Structures are given as structure tokens and as C-alpha cells.
Chain A
Amino acid sequence: MKKLALSDEILLKIDKPARYIGNEVNSIVKDPKEAAIRFAMCFPDVYEIGMSHLGIQILYDMFNKREDVYCERVYSPWPDLHQIMKEQQIPLFALESQDAVKDFDFLGITIQYEMCYTNILQVIDLSQIPMFAADRTKDDPFVIGGGPCAYNPEPLADFFDLFYIGEGEISYDALFDCYKEWKASGEDRIGFLRKAAKIPGIYVPQLYEVTYKEDGTIEAFTPKEEGIPEKVEKQLVMNMSESVYPQKPLVPFIKATQDRVVLEIQRGCIRGCRFCQAGMIYRPTREKDVDVLKQYAYHMLKNTGHEEISLSSLSSSDYSSLKELVTFLIEEFKGNGVNISLPSLRIDAFSLDVMSKVQDIRKSSLTFAPEAGSQRLRDVINKGLTEEVILQGAGEAFEGGWQKVKLYFMLGLPTENVEDQRAIAELANKIAVRYYEIPKDRRNGKCQITISTSFFVPKPFTPFQWAKMYPKEHYLACAHTVNDAVKEQLNKKSIKYNWHEADVTVLEGVLARGDRKLGKAILRAYEKGCIFDAWSDMFDNEQWMDSFKETGIDPDFYTLRERPLDEIFPWDFIDAGVTKDFLKREYANALAEKVTKNCRMQCNGCGVGKYKGGVCVEDKN
């Protein structure tokens, strides 16, 4: 029988023991002794969140296809178990073999959002691996990071031996082969890191030196040694249809956030919204062949037993074969007790038709993400959605029987003024007016319009990477402006407004565009007990602010400055495909309120044409 790392006494005392026992359907069981490389793949958040992440499922499947690799999973222990593991000195373990992570060859950590940084330190700490990469010895695993936040890895540079920049499907084989050679050679730790740094997409922070100007900005960022590349190029899959994709995804026992088959239909987005990091770093847009996706749907439903299937992409409405795929899914599976969960589609006749087939209209709601209230500000952020389109879509939906609408906006966008904020409430009101234009006998009581706002955080590799943020008070004032404006609307009783606290926005802003100097503050925050910062009930802003103070960090330096165009950014050593010139151009267009057309309408020369694939070569064969 399988042996567990935790005793019955512990497992029966803590919340949801199923998080820590492994044994899930489709988990991979191998003899650890047979594997030359043991890889612990970690999502640094609670199991239910981590298990829902598609990227890990892809890499888990791909790594385990190699006979010489045994890839297992690790998630952040919940605070109840965290405390027990600290008290009893129990080392963090991987779910499959229940063996201690510290005995593995690699600890891979996906870095999906800034607010998980203290959880990363928790994982390293509980694993009983030295916190600083520089202190690790030959017996310690190599800690490697990847995911979107690896596009600015600098705040975490002290804690990682390596970062992988880009999509994981490409360079891991080379990295594993390199590791095996190194292991056989008996060389010291840095020997492997030197070789790895030459593999495309691999960044080894220890091999680079950063010098700063007196004002705290970067003076130079250079390799310490000859032969280490100055630029690290992002890796990306150029043939999506033939790329690996897990046909037997893991099925957790406890309900994960994503408790369904997820079909990735494309990567990238043609839209070019100027606030969106994903829309820039995943360029160019690459579609998967619709026939391949149909096959996947069959196999994945069969192999998991899931009762729901959904599509994953940044903008599903732009997938060229969407109609064919959705029609197929409904016709093929709907009768078999499978729910089709549609992602947020652009509201038009087609999407309303399919939505009416797969959802209960009365219960479901329409989602629009105008992101900004006024047309002026939507032009600044290059969000193509117009008021006319929204009102028309909502009108058609109301005629069709819907009565719930969700609207998503951002506050604190560059150039935003009070009129833009008030326009949010006015737009909601116009939608309500459209609803009440329907004769009473043809509508079903009141409509419900829910406005949600989040605060904008500028991210690296976007046209807004130079933009300044605001103090916390300003964000809350923006939210109050919207709230007051909602109350002034004629249809205020049909409109509900939700907004968030602003503390976390400021911190996210510091970390997103931070540099190496932040490492000590993150460590201090962890030492003060900060973990699960992404969970609002656990987030403790005061501890963070104290940590900055005690480590001599001024958060305002990272958030309140509008950065000059010639500033060297901590992430400038990464070649993300889009050029800095393009981003500058787009920043200028934003300030001039000039819209840039999407990739299918016109090439804007962003730089990713060099990969010669995806949307850049569509219809050009």
C-alpha cells in the first residue's frame, strides 16, 4: 500500500487531507529509482487552484513521456499544515511518491501572479532547501521558475537558480539532456548553470551583474562571464496543432476551481489591448486545427469522465473555426450529459444562439469587458469595443430573454479623468434603458447590471510599462466617483457596483515592475508570516509595508514614477518578441488616443514577425 508523508494524526486534523495524498485519476506512477531526473513541479498556491492550471498539466504530461524523467506535483500547504510542518520539521514532499522535494533534481515553480511570491519562499523553506540560490550545494535541487511573471524575474532573482522564459514545450528536453551530462561529469553546481545559460530561453540570474545609478534606476545589466548571452529569447511553440497536449489530464478528488476538460484552442491574441501583458508576450496568435481539437475533446472527456468541457484562449471569438467547433461540441456531447461551458464570447447573433442552447437564459448572464467607461479612454487602451456594439449586443440579448449583464472595467488607467470614471455608470444606465425599452409584457421584471472594477497595474512588455501608478487613496477615490455616479443614474436600482481594496494593487505594482533589490523585502515579508497574499482574508498590508521600511525599499519608486523612455528596465535583457520600439510607438499612440488595428486587419510591425508563424503568415502561404 502507498505510504504517505504525513501521519494519520496530521491528516485527520487538517482541512481537506485529499490535498496531500496524491493518487488522483491519471496521476503518473513510476519507480523513482528508474528515473535519472526527478522533477517536482510546483504551483505555489493551494491545491484546488494549482490543479486547475493548464500549463502544469501540459508539462506534467510532456515530462513524464520521457522515460528518464519522473515529474511529480507540489502545491502550497495550507496554513494549518504549514504550521505543523514547521513545528515538526517535516520536509515538503511531492504528491506522487510522497518523497521529500529536497532529494529531487529540480524544483520547478510556475509563477502566475505577483501575489504568490511569498508562497514561493514558503515552498523553498518547507522543502528545507537553502533560500538563496547562491547558498545551495551539490545536494540541493535546482530551483527553476517559469510562467508569465518570469518575464520580469528580477524581484525573485536571489531565490532561483534558473528561469525559463516563454512556453515550456520547447527547451526542457535540451535542459534535461544537459543536466544528465553534467551529473555524469561530476562538475560543480555552477558548471551546470553555465551550460544551461546557453540553452535558448534559460536565464541564470547568478551569471548576470546589475549596477545602479544614484537615483536607483539601472545603469547596466550585463553577463558576468564571456559566453553567457546578453539577451534571453522567449521560447514559443510554432506548430500548435502538433504540439504536445495531455489527453489524460489529472482528475482531482476534491473539487478544483477548474473541474472540467479544458481545450486550448489558440495561444495569443490579435487585439493588442495596451494594458494586457498576455496579449503581448504570447504573440503571435497561433491557432490549433479544429479537427485536432475535436479529437482531443473525445479523448479527454473519455479519459477523465468530466461532465463539462470548456474552451481556453485569450479571445475565443477570434478563433477562426469557433462556429464549427462549438456546433460540434453541442451536437456531439450535449445529449450525453456533458455541459458545454462557453468562455466570454463577443455578444452577437451567433454567440446568443449557442448560449441559449447550453445555458438557462434566466440564470445566466452576459459579460462585457469594455475595461474603460468612455470611448476616449477605450481608444487610449486600444480596446476596440464601442458603446454602439455593447448596446446592440445587450439589446439582442434582452430581446432573447436575458436580463443579467456583467460589466468589467479598470480604474487608474493612464490619462483617466473623472469624466471617464463617471462614464462607467452612464454606460451601465444606457444598457438598463435599452432593457426597459422592451414592452412590459415581453420582459421579465427588472434587469440586473453588475459593474465590477479592478485597479490597473502596469506590466512589463506592454505599452504601459512606462506609466505611473497612483497612491492607494487615489484608487479608492476613483471607486467612490463611480459609486456616486451610479447613485445618480435613473436606473440605479438595476445597477450594482463592486470594487476591491487598493492595498494589494499597490503591492502588485511594486512587484510587477520591480528589480533585484526587492528580494530582501519579499524575504522579510515571508519571515513576518506573509503567505497566501492572493487571498484577501490572509493578505496583511502592514507587514509588507514594514518589510519595505526595514529593508530600505521605497515602494513609491516602483509605482509613482512615470519612467523615462530611455530607462533601462530590469526585464530589458529578455527578448519577448515585441520590440521596445513598438511598445514606445504604442505608448505614444495611447497618449494621442489613437487606435491601432488588430493583427488580422493590419500588421503593425510589433517584431514577432521574425518567428514566421501564426497570424503573421495567415493567408500568405
Chain B
Amino acid sequence: MKIRIKFGKYGVMKFIGHLDIMRYFQKCMRRADIDIAYSEGFSPHQIMSFAAPLGVGITSDGEYVDIEVHSTKSSKESIDALNAVMVEGVEITSYRKLGDNDKKAMSLVAAADYELYIKDNYEVPDVDFEAALQEFFYKPSEILITKQTKKSEKVMDLKQLVYDFKIYRKEDRPVFYLKVSTGSTDNLKPELVLASFYEYLGLGFDPLSIQIHRIDVYGRIDEKLVSLGQMGEIIE
């Protein structure tokens, strides 16, 4: 039986990298007595896969891990059992049963949305971000940027890969909302979009001044983006 678990990652846990989060979850499954399935062989491992790795320093409300179990309790009981063994900064928010033929979260990932904040100890640039956004993002028909990868440079069109870009204010400080293409092909990091916006504004961009928060991760079903957490069903 396939299960999809949704969790949030906050606070000091943002410093724990993806591989360590995987190891952390393996131990959580054992502590919470989840009846997880193991692979065969001399060193069996849990059947578990994560949707989209989250970079170190980023917080999130929408992380996903799919597991295979032999049997399960109800969604609510399972969420409670898991949360009872979590550390501060990781919270399980959903536990749903998937169909046997449903694809893994990892292979579904098509988009993710983020909020990017200017951290409290950094000054907000004195710029009319909202007006500039129209000129930078909404008016042009293409926005070409060059992405540096380890091996080569790649030219990408932000108009194709950014699905939404909004700015709103929290306590009078700007929050940049971005929904971007994510996944194995056409992966776009939100800070890259913000960096080119800053560049357009003639501002220096210091990645350390920005806190990135992932809101959710989406798969594409019939050309529509659907939250990975909406798939499957709650176990009563």
C-alpha cells in the first residue's frame, strides 16, 4: 500500500540537508511503529522516496515523502504517532493513501511555490517593487536569463518557467511570491528569479539577505497544477 506524507520544515531544521532528512525520516518510521515495507537483500532499506529535495537554509510547509507499508492505521492516528516522535521544526500535516498505480511524488513534480522574505536584520531597499514588477515581469513577452550550471551555461525564458510572481506586504516589508517550474527538467530556483529582478532594479543581490520559504509542491494532471497533498485519500 502506498502512502504520501506531507510535512513542514521550520526553524533550526532548515540547516539539516536533504540526505540527513532522509535518514531522519527512516528512524522516525521505526520510532512511530509505522509498518513500513523493506527491500530484500542483506541490508534491507525502507521503501521511501522524497518529492523534491529542499536546499539547506530553506523552510517549507509543503514537503512530501512517499512510503510503502504493509498495513496502516487511520490518517489521524498515523499523523499523531509520527508527530509524537518528531523534533521541533518538523511537523507532519497529512498522511494519505494513494492508489496502487499512482505515480511517485518524485516523478510528478512540476512546480512549486515560494515566499521570499528580506530577513529582519537586512534593510529593505527603497524601491517601488510593485510598480517595477509590472515592467520587469508582466509587460515583456520574454525574459531571457543565463543559468550557470556546473558544466555549461543555459539560457532560459522566465516567462515560460515562472507561473506566478506577486508582491505583497507583511508588516510593511515586501514578500515575493513565486510559483516556478520544478522537477528534473526545467528546474528553476526562485532565488534566481529574484536575483534577476534585483539586477533589473539595479540592486545588488545578497542571497544571505533572503529567507526562502516553500509553500507547496505541485504535480501536473490534465494540464493543471495540483498540489501533491491533494492526491490520494484520507484513511478513516
Stretch at the interface among B9-17, B214-222, B227-235: B9-17
Name the residue on A nearest B38 (C-beta). Answer: A337
Judge whether B130 is part of the interface by a CB distance below 8 angstroms.
no
Q: Chain A, 16-36, contact with B by CB distance < 8 Å: what is the 0/1 string?
A: 011001111100000000000
For B26, what are the chain A residues with a Cβ–Cβ distance below 8 Å? 305, 307
Known A4-B12, A337-B44; contact A25-B27, beta-carbon cutoff 8 A: yes
For B28, the chain A residues whose CB sits under 8 A away are 305
CA distance A305 to B27 in the complex (A): 4
B56 interface residue, CB < 8 Å from A? yes
Is residue B88 contacting chain A, with contact meaning CB distance below 8 A?
yes
A8 in contact with B119 (CB, 8 Å): yes
Shortest Cβ distance from A598 into chain B, in angstroms?
Answer: 35
Q: Are A23 and B13 in contact (CB under 8 A)?
A: yes
Contact: A21 with B208, CB < 8 Å? no
Contact A307 B89 (CB under 8 A): no
Are B30 and A21 touching (Cβ within 8 A)?
no
Q: Which of chain B's residues have a CB closer than 8 A to the CB of A224?
A: none
Per-position binary interface string of chain B over residues 1-44, scored 1 when its CB falls under 8 Å from any chain A CB and 0 otherwise: 00000000011110111001001101111110000001000111
Task: Give complex CA distance A339, B26 in Å.
Answer: 14
Say if the beta carbon of B87 comes within 8 Å of chain A. Answer: yes
The answer to whether A8 touches B30, judged by C-beta atoms less than 8 angstroms apart, is: no
The answer to whether A18 touches B10, judged by C-beta atoms less than 8 angstroms apart, is: no
Judge whether B12 and A12 touch: CB under 8 Å: no
Q: Report which residue of A17, A302, A307 has the largest number of chain B beta carbons within 10 angstroms of its beta carbon.
A: A307
Let me know if A302 and B31 touch, CB within 8 A.
yes
Q: In this assembly, does A323 line the interface, its C-beta being within 8 Å of a C-beta of chain B?
A: no
Q: Which of A122-130, A249-257, A482-490, A564-572 contacts B (4 or more CB under 8 A)?
A: A249-257
Check B42–A251 contact: CB distance below 8 A.
Answer: no
B161 at the interface (CB under 8 A from A): no
Cα(A253)–Cα(B89), bound, Å: 13
Q: Judge whether A360 and B119 touch: CB under 8 Å.
A: no
Residues A12 and B31 in contact, CB atoms below 8 Å apart: no
Cβ A2 vs Cβ B88 within 8 A? yes
Q: Of the candidates B17, B88, B208, which one forms a contact with A23 in the assembled complex, judged by CB atoms under 8 Å apart?
A: B88
Residues of B within 8 Å of A251, CB to CB, are 27
- Residue contact A21 to B46, C-beta cutoff 8 Å: no
Chain A residue at smallest Cβ distance from B10: A1
Given the complex, which residues of A lie within 8 Å of B88, measured CB to CB?
Answer: 2, 23
Residues of A within 8 A of B13 (CB): 23
Residues of B near A337 (CB, < 8 A) are: 38, 44-46
Q: Given B15, B27, B31, which contacts A17 in the complex, CB threshold below 8 Å? A: B15
Q: Which residues of chain A come closer than 8 Å to B174, judged between CB atoms?
A: none
Give the number of residues in A that approach B within 8 Å (Cβ atoms): 30
A255 to B20 CA separation, bound complex (whole angstroms):
8
CB distance from A337 to the nearest CB of B (A): 5
Find the A residue at minimum CB distance from B27.
A305
Q: Which residues of B contact A8 (CB under 8 A)?
A: 57, 119, 208, 211
Residue B156 lies at the interface, judged by CB distance under 8 Å to chain A:
no
Q: Which residues of A contact B211 (CB under 8 A)?
A: 8
Is B226 an interface position by the 8 A CB rule?
no
Q: How far is the CB of A333 from chain B (nearest CB, A)?
A: 11
**Within 8 Å of chain A (Cβ to Cβ): is B81?**
no
Task: Kindly name the residue among B27, B29, B121 whose own CB sees the greatest number of chain A CB atoms within 10 A.
Answer: B27
Residues B42 and A23 in contact, CB atoms below 8 Å apart: no
Task: List the A side residues contacting B38 at CB < 8 Å.
Answer: 337
Q: Which residues of B contact A24 (CB under 8 A)?
A: 87
Is B85 interfacial (CB 8 A cutoff)? Answer: yes
Contact across chains for A360 and B42 when beta carbons are under 8 A apart: yes
A301 to B27, CA, bound (A): 10
Q: Are A1 and B16 in contact (CB under 8 A)?
A: no
**What residue of chain A has the Cβ atom nearest to residue B121's Cβ?**
A7
Interface SS of A by simple majority? loop
Question: Does A18 lie within 8 Å of B16, measured CB to CB?
Answer: yes
Bound-state CA distance A360–B42 (Å) is 7
A8 to B28 alpha-carbon distance, docked (Å)? 27
- For window 168-224 of B, CB contacts with A under 8 Å fall at 208, 211
Kindly identify, within residues 25 to 78 of chain B, every residue whose CB is under 8 Å from any CB belonging to chain A: 26-31, 38, 42-46, 56-57
Q: How far is the CA of A23 from the CA of B14 in the complex (A)?
A: 12
Which residue of the partner chain, among A23, A254, A360, contacts B87 with CB atoms under 8 Å? Answer: A23
User: Provided the pairs A8-B57, A12-B56, A305-B29 are in contact, do residues A1 and B23 lie with their beta carbons within 8 angstroms?
Assistant: no
Which residues on B sit within 8 Å (CB–CB) of A214? none
> In the complex, A18 Cα to B87 Cα: how many Å?
14
- In A305-354, which residues have CB < 8 Å from any B CB? 305-307, 337, 339
- Chain A residues numbered 274-313 whose CB sits less than 8 Å from any CB in chain B: 301-307
Neighbouring A residues of B56 by C-beta, 8 Å: 12, 17
Cβ contact within 8 Å between B208 and A12: yes
| Cα–Cα, bound, A4→B89 (Å) | 13
Interface residue A215 (Cβ < 8 Å from any Cβ of B) = no
A305 to B25, CA, bound (A): 9
Are A253 and B20 neighbours in the complex by a CB distance under 8 Å?
yes
Taking the nearest CB of chain A, how far is it from the CB of B61, in angstroms?
15
Docked pose: A4 CA to B29 CA in angstroms: 28
Is A11 interfacial (CB 8 A cutoff)?
yes
Contacts of A4 in B (CB 8 A): 12
Q: Is the CB of B31 within 8 A of A304?
A: yes
A135 close to chain B: CB less than 8 A: no
Instruction: Identify the closest chain A residue to B31 (Cβ).
Output: A305
Whether A253 contacts B16 by the Cβ 8 Å rule is yes
Which of A9, A255, A306, A360 is B208 in contact with, Cβ under 8 Å?
A9
- Is A359 part of the binding interface, using a Cβ–Cβ cutoff of 8 Å? yes
**Chain B residue contacts of A25, Cβ below 8 A:** 24, 27, 31, 85, 87
Min C-beta distance of B106 to chain A, whole Å? 22
Residues in chain A near residue B29, CB distance under 8 A: 305
Asked if residues A23 and B27 are in contact (CB atoms below 8 Å), the reply is no
Beyond A1-B11, A21-B15, whether A12 also contacts B57 by CB under 8 A is yes
A22 neighbours in B (Cβ, 8 Å):
12
User: Please, how many angstroms separate the alpha-carbon atoms of A254 and B24 in the complex?
Assistant: 9
Q: How far is the CA of A2 from the CA of B16 in the complex (A)?
A: 15
Q: Once the chains bind, are A23 and B46 in contact (CB under 8 Å)? A: no
Closest A residue to B25 by CB, please name it.
A305
Complex contact B20–A23 (CB within 8 A): no
- Contact B31–A303 (Cβ < 8 Å): yes
A118 to B119, CA, bound (A): 38
For A303, what are the chain B residues with a Cβ–Cβ distance below 8 Å?
31
Subset of 29 A-B contacts with CB under 8 Å = A1-B10, A1-B12, A2-B11, A4-B12, A8-B57, A8-B119, A8-B208, A8-B211, A9-B208, A11-B15, A18-B15, A18-B16, A23-B12, A24-B87, A25-B85, A253-B16, A253-B20, A254-B20, A255-B23, A301-B30, A302-B30, A304-B27, A305-B28, A305-B30, A305-B85, A307-B26, A307-B27, A307-B30, A337-B44
Given contacts A8-B211, A23-B12, A302-B30, 12 further A-B contacts (CB under 8 A): A4-B12, A8-B208, A11-B15, A18-B16, A22-B12, A25-B27, A251-B27, A303-B31, A307-B26, A307-B27, A337-B38, A337-B45
Residues of B within 8 A of A (CB): 10-13, 15-17, 20, 23-24, 26-31, 38, 42-46, 56-57, 85, 87-89, 119, 121, 208, 211
Across the A-B interface, the 3 shortest Cβ-Cβ residue pairs: A305-B27, A305-B30, A305-B31
